[in-house]
């Protein structure tokens, strides 16, 4: 699994966007993801896109962390500032939901 046998944690942030801000948000999001990946404990991320039921773009960023302690440290020490940056820039023009999972097994 993760480092020293720690479970790999998958932290997902799902964003439903106002289509009018999609291009600007995407550019900001990619820099945001790179900033988060520089934080100790993060080992990678994927950005997924889907078509929302109401025609709004939906993007999910799936981050991989080296154990629950790394996630707790991120949520305590970094998340409040990073979330505030997105709100300050884009206001109420997106909706975010978050989910935490533990990676049970990867298949080739």
The pLDDT tens digits of the residues spanning 57-90 come to 999 999 999 999 999 999 999 999 999 999 999 9
Residue 75 burial (C-beta neighbours within 10 Å; 0-12, 13-18, 19+): middle
- In this structure, how many other beta carbons lie within 10 angstroms of the beta carbon of residue 26? 14
The answer to whether residues 88 and 28 touch, using CB atoms and an 8 Å cutoff, is no
Contacts of 35 (CB under 8 A, 6+ apart): 82
- How confident is the model over 23-47, as a mean pLDDT? 97
């Amino acid at each position: 699994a993760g480092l020293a046998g720690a479970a790999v944690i998958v932290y997902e942030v799902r964003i439903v966007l106002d289509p009018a801000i999609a291009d600007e948000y995407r550019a900001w999001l990619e820099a945001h993801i790179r900033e988060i990946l520089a934080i100790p404990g993060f080992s990678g991320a994927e950005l997924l896109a889907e078509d929302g039921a109401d025609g709004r773009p939906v993007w999910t960023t799936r981050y991989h962390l080296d154990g629950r302690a790394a996630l707790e440290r991120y949520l305590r020490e970094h998340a409040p500032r990073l979330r505030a940056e997105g709100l300050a820039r884009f206001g109420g023009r997106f909706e975010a939901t978050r989910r935490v999972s533990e990676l049970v097994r990867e298949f080739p």
